Chain A
Amino acid sequence: MKKIFQLISWVALVLLVSAPALFYVEKITLETNKALLLAATIIWFASALCWMGREKESE
């Protein structure tokens, strides 16, 4: 399960980088970029909360 959450977190981080990059190369609008950033933010916090703290606790 942890691996799945980690994968989702990585996807969120990739989205966080790609949304501004896509806006830079004019593939998406500023509004779409903002929506993607918000989605990536929600996904990141939701998924990272499921493994980041717990990883440390198990150590």
Chain B
Amino acid sequence: MAEDKQEKHGEFEREPVPASKTRGLKAFVGMYAGEHCAGTELMIGPLFVAAGVSAFDVVGGLLLGNLLAVLSWMFLCAPIAVRARLTLYYQLEKICGRHLVTLYNLANGVMFCFLAGSMITVSATALGVWFNFPMPGLNDLLPNSTGWVLSVLAVGALISVVAAWGYDMVSKVANIAAPWMVLVFLGFGIIGLRQFIEATGAEVNSLSSLWELCKNAVWKGGEPLSGQVKFTFWHVTFFAWFCNMAMHVGMADLSVFRFAKKSWHSCAAASGMYVGHFMAWLAASILYALQLHLDPANTDVLPGPLAYRAAGVAGLICVIVAGWTTANPTIYRAGLAFQAIMPKVSRFKVTICTGLLATVAGLFPGIAMKLLGFVALYGLILMPMGAVVFTDFWIFPKLGMQPYYAEHKSLKINWAAGIAWIATLVICVALVKSGNPLLQLYFVALPGWFIAAALYIGLSKMQQKGDA
């Protein structure tokens, strides 16, 4: 699946995808189901429990949030993708100019590195089970043992070398592992539930008694663990909606859906959302809730031990493979983003350096342990460019304004888009810092999108006034 995606990235980079190369719904279903069942799912599910979610909030919030994410792909990203049939980067270059795209690539590459770092962290927790070294706790920001450092370095170095050398091989392993991994995640949930029934002595013989168990023992709600933000229904909804914000609202998946025969084929994203971001998150959260139930003092979010307790060695293999196969394309993509900035440096060198950067990020458990906040931040940083693309494509022609302004004027940088991006981020940070609970990091991207769109329209009007 990652391989398919990569092939696509390498084709038609500066021209529209021809009709003969478009694909049907089925091609995207497998791609999304595999891509969104990743190592980080094993962190996110437990972090929901640490954030004190209740059963209704987590189940209802995920159902709604994932639906909104799918609709964002279907109604924001895909309609532009199938009309323009261009990569995000080329479309941005036409709108914003080459220099601004370089800055976007830099931001994208750095965020990819941190994301890959957290995947390396996840894989390293599996080695901790085998070698029994002290592993970081929920509130640890820095590495806490030599064993941890060596473990992350080993995993990171291996992933980096493979990403630089054997990308195709790992892509094949990722494709083969995907159906197996999905079922192991499902197994985590089923096994965790049985263990819960045994630990609580609950009688579960119907759906309503299962729901009672979920409400009273698994996702009990209440106060979050120390150092965590309390998650309500709306937190879960917005998190599920915006955790892939860079891809749908941020338009990164223009590069994927430019190959779709029809715009509605983007509904394939539902496979990733409801397999990875519903089933896998819930399954992983059940394992963590069980750990807390058995020992409330053990608040460590460590996918390795969690998976091992439920599924033994197969669980550990799942943690390693899930982290490895998803960190690998992430490092590769970050490398591509950096290589666009330094085109003369070889891809091998760039990917190795990117992998090392990701490994250094992986050493710091603070990134993985604060993954909920990091993922929200990742989407927020790239979101304004999605608003710029949307506005430029749909609204500018209606207002009689010039779309693809940088291309039209042969500009290296379209300052209207640049200011809209940076100013939106500054405003969003100020809103978050205001302390208003309605403007927390998890929610602020929604008003942020409208701010970015309004700023881009207003600034472009000023910019284009002299052209008329």
With A44-B180, A53-B172 in contact, is A38–B186 under 8 Å at CB?
no
Set of chain B residues within 8 Å of A11, measured between Cβ atoms: none
Known contacts A37-B312, A38-B312: A45-B180 contact under CB 8 Å: yes
B187 at the interface (CB under 8 A from A): yes
State whether A16 touches B184 (Cβ < 8 A).
yes
Tell which of A13, A30, A31, A33 touches B180, judged by Cβ atoms closer than 8 Å: A13
Q: Is B294 an interface residue (CB 8 A)?
A: no
Q: Which residues on A sit within 8 Å (CB–CB) of B183? A: 13, 16-17
Would you give the shortest CB distance from B175 to chain A, in whole angstroms?
A: 6
User: Which residues of chain A from 12 to 57 have any CB-CB distance to chain B below 8 Å in the complex?
Assistant: 12-13, 16-17, 19-21, 23-24, 26, 30-31, 33-35, 37-38, 40-41, 44-45, 48-49, 52-53, 56
B193 interfacial by beta-carbon distance below 8 Å: yes
> Once the chains bind, are B175 and A52 in contact (CB under 8 Å)?
yes
B residues 187-236 with Cβ under 8 Å of A? 187, 190-191, 193-195
Identify the A interface with B (CB < 8 A).
12-13, 16-17, 19-21, 23-24, 26, 30-31, 33-35, 37-38, 40-41, 44-45, 48-49, 52-53, 56
A3 to B248, CA, bound (A): 39
User: Are B184 and A37 neighbours in the complex by a CB distance under 8 Å?
Assistant: yes
Which listed residue, A34, A44, A53, touches B312 by the CB 8 Å rule? A34
Select from chain A the residue with minimum beta-carbon distance to B317: A41
Say yes or no: A24-B191 contact (C-beta < 8 A), given A13-B183, A16-B183, A41-B317.
yes
Tell me if B176 counts as interface (CB < 8 A to partner A).
yes
- In the bound complex, residues from chain B placing their C-beta under 8 Å from that of A16 are 180, 183-184, 187
Chain A residues lying within 8 Å of B312, measured Cβ to Cβ, are 31, 34-35, 37-38
Of chain A, the residue at the smallest CB distance from B188 is A20
Q: Can you give 11 contacting A-B residue pairs, CB < 8 Å? A: A16-B187, A17-B186, A23-B191, A23-B194, A33-B191, A34-B311, A37-B184, A41-B317, A45-B180, A49-B176, A53-B175
Main secondary structure of the interface of A (DSSP, over half): helix
Tally of contacts, chain A with chain B, CB under 8 A: 65
Instruction: Tell me which residues across on chain B come within 8 A of A31, comparing CB atoms.
Output: 312
User: Does B430 touch A at the CB level, under 8 Å?
Assistant: no
CA distance A30 to B188 in the complex (A): 12
Closest-by-CB residue of A relative to B171 is A53
Number of interface residues of B (CB under 8 A): 21
Contacting pair A40 B193 (CB below 8 A) = no
Q: How far is the CA of A17 from the CA of B191 in the complex (A)?
A: 11
> Which residues on the B side are within 8 Å of A45 (C-beta)?
176-177, 180
Q: How far is the CB of B33 from chain A (nearest CB, A)?
A: 14
A20 in contact with B187 (CB, 8 Å)? yes
CB pair A19–B187 under 8 Å, yes or no, is: yes
Residues of B within 8 A of A23 (CB): 190-191, 194
Shortest Cβ gap from B379 to chain A (Å): 32
> In whole angstroms, how far apart are the Cα atoms of A33 and B191 in the complex?
9
Closest approach, in angstroms, between the C-beta of A33 and any C-beta of chain B? 7
In the complex, A26→B193 CA distance in Å? Answer: 12
CB distance from A46 to the nearest CB of B (A): 10
* Complex alpha-carbon distance, A56 and B191, angstroms: 34
**B194 touching A37, Cβ below 8 Å:** no
Q: Which of A34, A45, A56 has the most CB of B within 10 A?
A: A34
Residues of chain B lying within 8 A (CB to CB) of residue A30: 191, 195
* A-B complex: 9 closest residue pairs judged by Cβ atoms: A34-B312, A37-B314, A20-B190, A20-B187, A16-B183, A24-B194, A41-B314, A38-B314, A48-B176
Q: Does B179 contact A (CB under 8 A)?
A: yes
CB of A14, distance to nearest CB on chain B (Å): 9
Is there contact, CB below 8 Å, between A37 and B176? no
Interface residues of B in 144-192 (CB under 8 A from A): 172, 175-177, 179-180, 183-184, 186-187, 190-191
Which B residues lie within 8 Å of A17 (CB)?
A: 183, 186-187
Chain A residue with Cβ nearest B189: A20
A11 to B190, CA, bound (A): 19
Chain B residues whose CB sits within 8 angstroms of the CB of A48 once the complex forms: 176, 180
Complex alpha-carbon distance, A19 and B179, angstroms = 16
Contact between chains at A41 and B176 (CB < 8 Å): no
* Residue B315 is within 8 A (CB to CB) of chain A in the complex: yes
Please name all residues of chain A whose beta carbon is closer than 8 Å to the beta carbon of B172 when the two chains form the complex: 52-53
- Smallest CB separation, A26 vs chain B (Å): 8
